[in-house]
Amino acid sequence: MAVFQQPPFNLLTILGPTASGKTRLAVALAGEMNGEIISADSRQVFRGMDIGSGKDLHEYGAIPCHLIDILDAGEEFSVFAFQRLFIEAFESITARGRLPLLCGGTGMYLDAALRGYRLVEVPEDPALRTELGTRSDAELAAMLRELRPEQHNSTDLADRQRTIRAIEIARHEQNRPTETEPFPPVRPLVIGIRWERSELRRRITERLRQRLDNGMIEEVQGLHNQGITWERLSYYGLEYRFVGAFLRGELTRNDLFQKLNSAIHDFAKRQETWFRRMEKNGVTIHWVDGAGDPLAEARRIVGERREW
């Protein structure tokens, strides 16, 4: 009697730091493997935030993509919401007999999809928010670090409302341990793109120049003209924060480029730190050389796994 064997993987994941070429590799593999792409990016979900979030929509061609342009700019999005939508997309793609490819660099989102734990939505706590509203930014940062000694997501510390929400979530998790909920049978194969640090810095710098020349400043101004406050735009990350400061007259054009470029380089280092932490937590990442032939290397890795 033949024994049924499940395929060795049912989710292919492409990750890497910003400007590493993740989308291009994911699209190429999706085209060869009857795949559809699920974006793991905290900002590409928003319509109208194209250049600042690095959507690179032109690279997708005819490949279906999910979790891009699903919300209006100005709305909020969370890791909980991402995980729920990821599971829906994963199950839908799989049911059609196609291969889901998860592609992105937002560490928390990748973790939420790959590590097999179900997140629970944390309700707002008005009493706690009132109490925290009287605290200084420094006090809030200290509280969050005490609740989460491993805190590494500096974005939560760059915006007061994000810090308060992070404390709210940490308090909830501490006081009400959540029961494990069922998670889809995800069997991931994870491929990461790696570059020499100097070459990645060059790519980041060149990409930033292109984005500034191709309308990123005008995109941010347009979003503000639509009624999105500078504070809310700052919440969406580095590009929107620094371009907003430039548009308010707080930075010169040269300062905008230099400061934003440096901040993105630092962000890429934090992404790489997160990927190393993922590996320590049991996620096997098969690294390919971005400067070589990452598609050929990825094909080899996929082929080896399919032979298991």
| Residue pLDDT, tens place only, 118-150 | 776 677 788 888 888 888 888 888 888 888 776
Q: Which residues contact 300 (CB under 8 A, 6 or more apart)?
A: none
Q: What's the Cα-to-Cα distance from 16 to each of 22, 85, 264, 268, 306, rounded to whole Å?
A: 6, 22, 14, 9, 23
Which residues does the annotation place in the binding site for substrate? 18-23
Q: Which of 113-117, 199-203, 283-287 shows the lowest per-residue confidence on average (mean pLDDT)?
A: 113-117
Tokens matching residue 69: 């342009």
pTM for the predicted model, two decimal places: 0.82
**Average pLDDT of the residues in 109-118:** 88
Burial of 282 from C-beta contacts in 10 A (0-12 / 13-18 / 19+): exposed
**Average pLDDT of the residues in 282-299:** 97
Which residues does the annotation place in the binding site for ATP? 16-23
Residue 227 pLDDT:
96
Torsion sign over Cα 158, 163, 169, 170: positive
